[in-house]
């Protein structure tokens, strides 16, 4: 650009002209800013879902009505199932297309194509696992009817993609990353289903950690950190109730807290005289929610609840006759095998004294702004080689993973059947096709039945101890001995006590003939739920909501008195003594405004640090899922007079407790000041529901994370589950959906979907349930007539 030539003027006029010029420039910039704002705003608004008017979809047979209620829940009513699943695909894509795209890419190992080199290691891991390959195997065994549903759903998604591309109205996230979605396929939906099996996974990480312990510590010391379940603690099924019918550095480790609560209460213990059901699956807390709440109605189906974006049907919820919910069973469905590689042929492994050829699979990884990586996956007879302990055991030994979810399975078929089930018999028949992940299903129906089944494909181990460590892959004696027969899976119908509850705790008493798991959630959540349900009758839906929000900390109720006894004669500093007085006055409610939870949780973390920090490297701690439970078991043993190596080597119980308390109070004082009574659990323990792109820059953080973090009560061991990152206090796992229903009125369900229904940050339903999630304010969703914004999907002329 040529330099502008200055016009000669008098000084006074020149000053005035400069002022006018400056004002002019500011005016132009403001105009441009306003124009840019309206342009960007208009562009972003184009990608908001259309909720009113008419959309023409030529693939429909008849009109479909979609009413979006005041909570953002779409109620889809079609004349036939053909149109219903097309409409569900279209509406899901309208609301969650970017989430669906990320989900299929993450599970398929193709994130590098759109985000670049930083996702390569993650892609390698998911290519190695082969979730997409497992989905393709599953597709081959689905019925024609189920495949048709998958194809109809995909055609609805693709109709949205086509429209959005034509109208330049894809979600803004696609623009930010510079790509557009490809066509949706049935395999994409099944792959997302396989990813959920991964997220709810198994215990291979603990096996790897146990292997590390045995190779790095004396045997007795290693075994002290192996998983155990507290003696005389409750199981889901009581006696007499059972109805028998080298490096994992780049491994993607599911969160250790992927648990849940659910329960059913019989009509004998309710005000309405009919069963109550409650369910709150605990998963990652993010924006958008992992769940999408929907209501589907057509022909003989009228079902409401939640589904993973990218999958047809309703996985959890209710219809006009039944309601159901799940928690994670957590069985030993993943087994690591040590494989001996042929030193003369890297793709052969020893089995029964012969070298057996492995399958080598080409999995080229495309990388945005980079070269395609030639990557290969090796699969032995047991499964993919997931890691090599080259430094520790030599280049000729590797670990492979046998996992039920990598088999061909038919969960979607089960979902489609249970959506239309009318009673327990039909529901249980549908469950026979739900194989992975294994889940604790609770059930209630309008005929008064309450029931429970630990459902899924659960391997038979000859010895329970075999599931604790990697097994010799070359010896057939260590193969699984089949699977627990479906008719012999743990099952209870209408128990005399009048309720059934599960919280990832131990399922069956030792008299049950099959091994299920060595790793269970500590029983605190279950004990509190049982305590409340045993305490009274005439329960209502409101009572069940209150129990889902219950913040009673039974772990603290167990250990605080023990700590007080041990330190009763110890010389404590002024602040430590004050902390002990505060804990003495505590009612063990983990409320956000109280200091006691903050003190207790920090204290427990410092105890773990004393045990592990100098002994176990950080890379191995990633695999130590039960580090909290192991520390608690060491404390219990010490309290009962039993000596353990870990406690003795750290100076004994009194020294461990005193030192850890001093460390905790020192850290808290530095962070929150000298006045202990002013400390609040919610100053540290907060929830935000982060968007996946928000960490890319502070600007995107402001853009997508619209609300400030909210202080919240509860913890990982309270019925109101709120597990947190120890470094930041951020609550990142908890009740991803809360649901309560009284079967006396099957038209009305009570729900919380944190942080909201919408995936679009400008939607009124984007973060509208954040406060609800913290406070326990439920919205109702009805099966019958619903008011709201009305959209018609029409086949056109």
pLDDT tens-place string over residues 62-116: 999 999 999 999 999 999 999 999 999 999 999 999 999 999 999 999 999 999 9
The full length of the chain comes to: 797
Check residue 38 and give its pLDDT: 44
Quote the CA–CA distance of 658 and 635 in Å, as a whole number: 13
Identify the band that residue 18 occupies on the pLDDT scale cut at 50, 70 and 90.
very low
Residue 410 near residue 433, CB atoms below 8 Å:
yes
Percent of the chain scored above 70 by pLDDT?
A: 90
pLDDT tens-place string over residues 488-525: 999 999 999 999 999 999 999 889 999 999 988 889 99
Q: Is the pLDDT of residue 372 over 80?
A: yes
Which phi and psi (to 5°) does residue 692 adopt? -60, -25
pLDDT tens-place string over residues 465-478: 889 999 999 999 99
Quote the CA–CA distance of 563 and 541 in Å, as a whole number: 38
Question: Angle, to 10 degrees, between the axis of helix 554-566 and the axis of helix 596-612?
Answer: 70
Quote the CA–CA distance of 51 and 74 in Å, as a whole number: 9
Residue 335 near residue 204, CB atoms below 8 Å:
yes
For the residues of 722-764, what is the DSSP string, one character each? EEE-TTT-BEEEEES-EEEEETT-TTEEEEE-SS-S-SSTTST
In SS3 terms, 419-446 reads as: CCCCCHHHHHHHHCCCCCCCEEEEEEEC
- Which residue in 725, 328, 718, 722 sits closest to 516, CA to CA? 328
Quote the CA–CA distance of 82 and 57 in Å, as a whole number: 13
Cis ω on the peptide bond leading into residue 402 (within 30° of 0)? Answer: no
Q: Is the pLDDT of residue 234 over 80?
A: no
Q: Is the pLDDT of residue 7 over 70?
A: no
Q: Is the pLDDT of residue 648 over 50?
A: yes
Which phi and psi (to 5°) does residue 75 adopt? -110, 110
Residue 67 near residue 74, CB atoms below 8 Å:
yes
Quote the CA–CA distance of 766 and 738 in Å, as a whole number: 17
Please count the other Cβ atoms lying within 10 Å of the Cβ belonging to residue 115.
19
Residue 449 near residue 245, CB atoms below 8 Å:
no
Query: Which helix H or strand E contains 782, and what residues bound it?
Result: strand 779-782
Copy the structure tokens of residue 757: 């229904």
Query: Which helix H or strand E contains 173, and what residues bound it?
Result: helix 172-177
pLDDT tens-place string over residues 19-45: 444 554 545 454 444 444 444 677 789
Check residue 202 and give its pLDDT: 64
Residue entry with tokens 């491994």: 251
Quote the CA–CA distance of 194 and 436 in Å, as a whole number: 8
For the residues of 573-604, what is the DSSP string, one character each? -HHHHHHHHHHHT--SB--TT-SHHHHHHHHH
Quote the CA–CA distance of 653 and 567 in Å, as a whole number: 9
Identify the band that residue 252 occupies on the pLDDT scale cut at 50, 70 and 90.
low
Percent of the chain scored above 90 by pLDDT?
A: 80
Q: Is the pLDDT of residue 14 over 90?
A: no
Strands 291-298 and 74-78: parallel
Return the bridge partners of 535, or none.
Answer: none
Q: Is the pLDDT of residue 5 over 50?
A: no
Check residue 203 and give its pLDDT: 75
For the residues of 275-323, what is the DSSP string, one character each? -EEEEEEEEE-BSS-SEEEEEEEETTEEEEEEEETT--S-SEEEESSEE
Alpha-carbon separation of residue 372 from 105, 108, 336 (angstroms): 16, 16, 30
Quote the CA–CA distance of 43 and 318 in Å, as a whole number: 38
Q: Is the pLDDT of residue 247 over 80?
A: no
Residue 719 near residue 529, CB atoms below 8 Å:
yes
> Cα torsion at 627, 628, 630, 635 (round to 10°)?
140
Copy the structure tokens of residue 216: 């790095």
Check residue 387 and give its pLDDT: 75
Identify the band that residue 339 occupies on the pLDDT scale cut at 50, 70 and 90.
very high
pLDDT tens-place string over residues 263-277: 999 999 999 999 999
Q: Is the pLDDT of residue 177 over 80?
A: yes
Check residue 233 and give its pLDDT: 57
């Amino acid at each position: 650009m040529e330099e502008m030539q200055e016009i000669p003027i008098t000084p006074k006029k020149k000053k005035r002209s400069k002022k006018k010029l400056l004002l002019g420039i500011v005016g132009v910039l403001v105009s441009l800013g306003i124009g840019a704002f309206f342009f960007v705003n208009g562009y972003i608004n184009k990608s908001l879902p259309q909720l009113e008017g008419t959309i023409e979809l030529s693939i429909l047979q008849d009109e479909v009505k979609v009413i979006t209620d005041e909570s953002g829940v779409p109620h889809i009513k079609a004349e036939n199932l053909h149109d219903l699943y097309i409409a569900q695909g279209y509406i899901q894509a309208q609301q969650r297309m970017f989430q669906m795209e990320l989900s299929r890419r993450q599970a398929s190992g193709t994130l590098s194509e759109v985000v670049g080199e930083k996702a390569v290691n993650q892609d390698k891991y998911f290519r190695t696992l082969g979730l997409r390959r497992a989905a393709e195997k599953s597709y081959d065994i689905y019925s024609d009817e189920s495949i048709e549903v998958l194809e109809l759903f995909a055609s609805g998604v693709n109709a949205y993609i086509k429209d959005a591309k034509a109208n330049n109205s894809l979600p803004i996230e696609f623009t930010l990353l510079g790509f557009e979605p490809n066509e949706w396929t049935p395999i994409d939906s099944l792959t997302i289903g396989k990813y959920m099996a991964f997220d709810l996974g198994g215990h291979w990480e603990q096996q790897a950690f146990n292997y590390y312990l045995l190779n790095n510590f004396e045997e007795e010391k290693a075994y002290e950190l192996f998983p155990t379940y507290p003696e005389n603690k409750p199981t889901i099924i009581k006696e007499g109730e059972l109805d028998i019918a080298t490096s994992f550095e780049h491994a993607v480790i599911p969160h250790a807290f992927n648990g849940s609560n659910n329960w059913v209460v019989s009509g004998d213990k309710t005000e309405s005289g009919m069963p109550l059901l409650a369910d709150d699956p605990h998963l990652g807390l993010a924006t958008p929610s992992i769940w999408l709440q929907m209501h589907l109605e057509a022909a003989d189906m009228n079902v409401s609840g939640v589904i993973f974006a990218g999958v047809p049907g309703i996985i959890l919820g209710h219809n006009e006759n039944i309601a159901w919910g799940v928690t994670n069973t957590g069985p030993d469905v993943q087994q690591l095998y040590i494989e001996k590689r042929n030193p003369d042929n890297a793709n052969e492994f020893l089995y029964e004294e012969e070298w057996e050829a492995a399958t080598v699979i080409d999995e080229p990884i495309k990388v945005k702004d980079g070269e395609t990586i030639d990557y290969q996956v090796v699969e032995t007879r047991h499964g993919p080689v997931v890691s090599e302990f080259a430094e520790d055991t030599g280049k000729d030994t590797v670990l492979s993973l046998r996992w039920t979810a990598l088999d061909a399975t038919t969960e979607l078929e089960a979902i489609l059947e249970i959506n239309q089930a009318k009673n327990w018999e039909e529901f249980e028949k549908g469950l026979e096709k739900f194989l992975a992940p294994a889940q604790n299903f609770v059930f209630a129906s309008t005929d008064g039945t309450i029931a429970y089944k630990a459902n899924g494909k659960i391997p038979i181990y000859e010895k329970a101890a075999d599931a604790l460590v990697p097994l010799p892959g070359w010896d057939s004696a260590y193969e699984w001995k089949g699977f627990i027969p479906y008719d012999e899976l743990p099952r209870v119908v209408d128990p005399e006590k009048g309720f059934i509850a599960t919280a990832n705790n131990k399922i069956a008493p030792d008299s049950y003939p099959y091994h299920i798991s060595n790793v269970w959630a500590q029983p605190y959540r279950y004990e509190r739920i049982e305590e409340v349900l045993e305490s009274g009758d005439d329960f209502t839906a409101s009572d069940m909501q209150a129990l889902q929000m219950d913040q009673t900390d039974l772990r603290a109720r167990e250990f605080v008195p023990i700590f007080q006894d041990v330190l009763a004669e110890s010389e404590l500093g002024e602040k430590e003594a004050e902390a002990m007085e505060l804990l003495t006055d505590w009612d063990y409610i983990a409320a956000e405004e109280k200091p006691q939870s903050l003190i207790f949780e920090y204290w427990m973390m410092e105890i773990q640090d004393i045990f592990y920090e100098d002994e176990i490297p950080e890379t191995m701690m990633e695999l130590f899922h039960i580090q909290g439970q192991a520390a608690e078991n060491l404390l219990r043993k010490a309290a009962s007079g039993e000596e353990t190596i870990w406690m003795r080597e750290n100076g004994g119980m009194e020294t461990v407790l005193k030192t850890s308390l001093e460390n905790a109070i020192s850290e808290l004082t530095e962070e929150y000041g000298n006045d202990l009574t002013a400390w609040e659990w919610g100053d540290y323990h907060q929830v935000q529901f982060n968007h996946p792109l928000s960490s890319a820059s502070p600007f995107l953080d402001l853009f997508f994370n619209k609300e400030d973090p909210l202080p919240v009560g509860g913890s990982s061991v309270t019925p109101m589950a709120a597990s947190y990152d120890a470094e930041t206090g951020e609550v990142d796992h908890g009740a991803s959906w809360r649901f309560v229903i009284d079967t006396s009125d099957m038209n009305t369900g009570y729900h919380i979907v944190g942080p909201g229904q919408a995936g679009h940050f400008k939607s009124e339903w984007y973060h509208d349930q954040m406060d609800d999630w913290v406070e326990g304010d439920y919205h109702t969703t009805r099966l019958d007539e619903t008011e709201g914004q009305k959209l018609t999907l029409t086949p056109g002329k």
